Amino acid sequence: MLDILQTILVTLLTLAILVTVHEFGHFWVARRCGVKVLRFSVGFGKPLLSWSDRSGTEYVIAGIPLGGYVKMLDEREGNVPEELLDQTFNRATPRSRIAIAAAGPLANFILAILVYWLIFLNGVSGVAPIVAKVEAGSLAERAGIIAGQEFLSVDGKATPTWEALQLQLLDRIGENGEILVNMRSSDTGLVSEKVVSLTDWMHDVEEPNPVRELGVTLFVPEVIPRIESVMPESPAERAGLRAGDLVLETDGQPINTWLEWVEQVRLKPEQAVSVTVERDNQRVMLTMTPERKLDEGSKAYGYVGVGVAMPSWPEEMQRMTEYGFIGAAVAAVDKTWTMSALTLSSIKKMLMGLLSPKNLSGPITIAKVAGSSVQYGFFAWLTFLALLSVSLAVLNLLPIPVLDGGHIVYALVEWLTGKPVAEQVQVWANQTGLVLVVCLMVFAIYNDVLRL
């Protein structure tokens, strides 16, 4: 219950920040262009809290926290006193309307840059992508990649960490052709170039994992099954397990790694399990009954309530990049540009059928990721916030009526031709755009439900 509450609160906070920043961009530029703002709302529906400033703008926090809006004075929405006509949005110059429409996405880009800047100022750590295993018959094996090699670059771009490698490979989803990969041997230090041949790579994969699809398993330190913590009133505590115990056997089967222990426990919900542990250099035999729980697919699994002592990564595999004040800013701009390009590329590939539309996510997935990111720490949540801010900016700039990009197109046409787009055309286009956006939202939520 607490996990669900935390997920809800974190999701609402994340959305509130993104929406407030986006709408503030529209609000700030509108005022500087001489357009009167009637309402600045975070959320939709009935106002929960509202107040007004000296300029007559009403600020609202509404009950449905799934968006927001800035309402500007506009003759198309009602009668406007003659003395205020010069402050209406519809009478603003095309250049001003473009600036107002673009200001929301621009504010989200600026937020992403600032967040990435904070992250880079703190330093970025990661783990070197070293191959532990290559699957027989896989793309990696056919390219000549072998265990022990380290990924240095993909298509000429450095991949010093797992994250960098995944991002570079994600950019090639749905494509044909070749990936050029530079690998370094851990034994000799020699660098060699490998060529991975692609054919509609992962175009129908719902949750793509590029490294796995190459047929590669990256190295992780072996986790020994030594218990670090025992939850109060858990099956493990009732059975007599203690912190520091080393699990040796389960039902007579030797246990060598933590993963083996977890798999054995999960397979036996509400079944008595004999456990042999090493404690103070002595073998101790215990019997416990794992509690029955359900995973996200409603499948039962066993749970005993213990934590493991996680190993540290070998020092030679750790990668730490530190930035100065200016260097962090440059890296933040570059990261925002990279994530924007990746978002646009993904949209293009979906439209061309090169990427499965099942990858489209909605509010349920956003909530799950927002909640889980907090569990990994503040900077993990900041990274998610920046990525979502970039996505919101890019999507709003698409030339779809009812989105900011659609308003920009209308204003550009008027600027270039000297005539506004016919009102009837705008009404028809806005209705079509609204139907399209609603359909995409429904499909995204449908994907979310299927993932549950």
Please give the model's pTM, rounded to 2 decimal places: 0.78
Whether residues 242 and 268 fall in one domain: yes
Encode pLDDT of 5-16 as tens digits.
Answer: 777 788 888 888
What is the band of 93 on the pLDDT scale with cuts at 50, 70, 90? very high
- What is the per-residue pLDDT for 51? 92
Mean pLDDT of the chain: 86
Whether residues 244 and 296 fall in one domain: yes
Encode pLDDT of 232-247 as tens digits.
Answer: 888 888 989 898 889 9
- What is the per-residue pLDDT for 110? 97
- What is the per-residue pLDDT for 430? 84
Region 68-86 average pLDDT: 89
Whether residues 299 and 235 fall in one domain: yes
Encode pLDDT of 120-139 as tens digits.
Answer: 998 888 888 999 899 998 99
Whether residues 261 and 176 fall in one domain: no
Specify the CATH number for the domain of residue 247: 2.30.42.10
| 217 domain residue, yes or no | yes
> Looking at per-residue confidence, does 373 or 52 come out higher?
52
Q: What percent of the chain has pLDDT over 70?
A: 90
- Confirm if 173 and 203 have CB atoms less than 8 A apart: yes
Residue 107: pLDDT above 90?
Answer: yes
Q: Is 141 a catalytic residue?
A: no
Q: In a 3-state reduction of DSSP, which class is residue 246?
A: strand
DSSP letters, 7-60, are: HHHHHHHHHHHHHHHHHHHHHHHHHHTTPPEEEEEEEEEEEEEEEE-TT--EEE
What is the distance between the alpha carbons of residues 39 and 42, in angstroms, rounded to a whole number? 10
| 201 domain residue, yes or no | yes
Residue 1: pLDDT above 90?
Answer: no
Q: Of 286, 321, 356, which residue constitutes the final position of a domain?
A: 321
Q: Of 291, 321, 351, which residue constitutes the final position of a domain?
A: 321
Whether residues 185 and 212 fall in one domain: yes
| 349 domain residue, yes or no | no
AA letter at 298? S
Whether residues 166 and 214 fall in one domain: yes
Region 218-242 average pLDDT: 88
What is the band of 354 on the pLDDT scale with cuts at 50, 70, 90? low
Indicate the burial class of 233 (C-beta count within 10 angstroms; 0-12, 13-18, 19 or more): exposed
> Catalytic: which of 23, 193, 278, 423?
23
Whether residues 193 and 278 fall in one domain: no
Strands 131-134 and 149-154: unpaired
| 245 domain residue, yes or no | yes
Whether residues 209 and 233 fall in one domain: no
Whether residues 135 and 215 fall in one domain: yes
Indicate the burial class of 165 (C-beta count within 10 angstroms; 0-12, 13-18, 19 or more): buried
As for how many domains the chain has, the answer is 2
| 266 domain residue, yes or no | yes
Backbone dihedral angles phi then psi of residue 327, each to the nearest 5 degrees: -60, -40
What is the band of 336 on the pLDDT scale with cuts at 50, 70, 90? very high
Region 203-225 average pLDDT: 82
Encode pLDDT of 252-301 as tens digits.
Answer: 889 888 888 888 888 888 999 899 999 999 999 999 899 888 765 567 88
Region 157-184 average pLDDT: 87
- What is the per-residue pLDDT for 359? 65
| 333 domain residue, yes or no | no
- What is the per-residue pLDDT for 112? 96
| 390 domain residue, yes or no | no
Q: Of 308, 342, 361, which residue constitutes the final position of a domain?
A: 308
- Confirm if 149 and 186 have CB atoms less than 8 A apart: yes
Domain hosting 240: range is 227-308
Whether residues 202 and 275 fall in one domain: no
- What is the per-residue pLDDT for 421? 87
- What is the per-residue pLDDT for 66? 74
Please list, in sequence order, all residues whose beta carbon lies within 8 angstroms of the beta carbon of residue 316, skipping any fewer than 6 positions away: 128
- What is the per-residue pLDDT for 223? 83
Whether residues 275 and 297 fall in one domain: yes
| 262 domain residue, yes or no | yes
Region 138-159 average pLDDT: 90
- What is the per-residue pLDDT for 260? 86
Residue 337: pLDDT above 90?
Answer: yes
Whether residues 159 and 132 fall in one domain: yes
Region 148-153 average pLDDT: 91
- What is the per-residue pLDDT for 452? 55
- Of the chain, the end-to-end C-alpha distance in Å amounts to 17
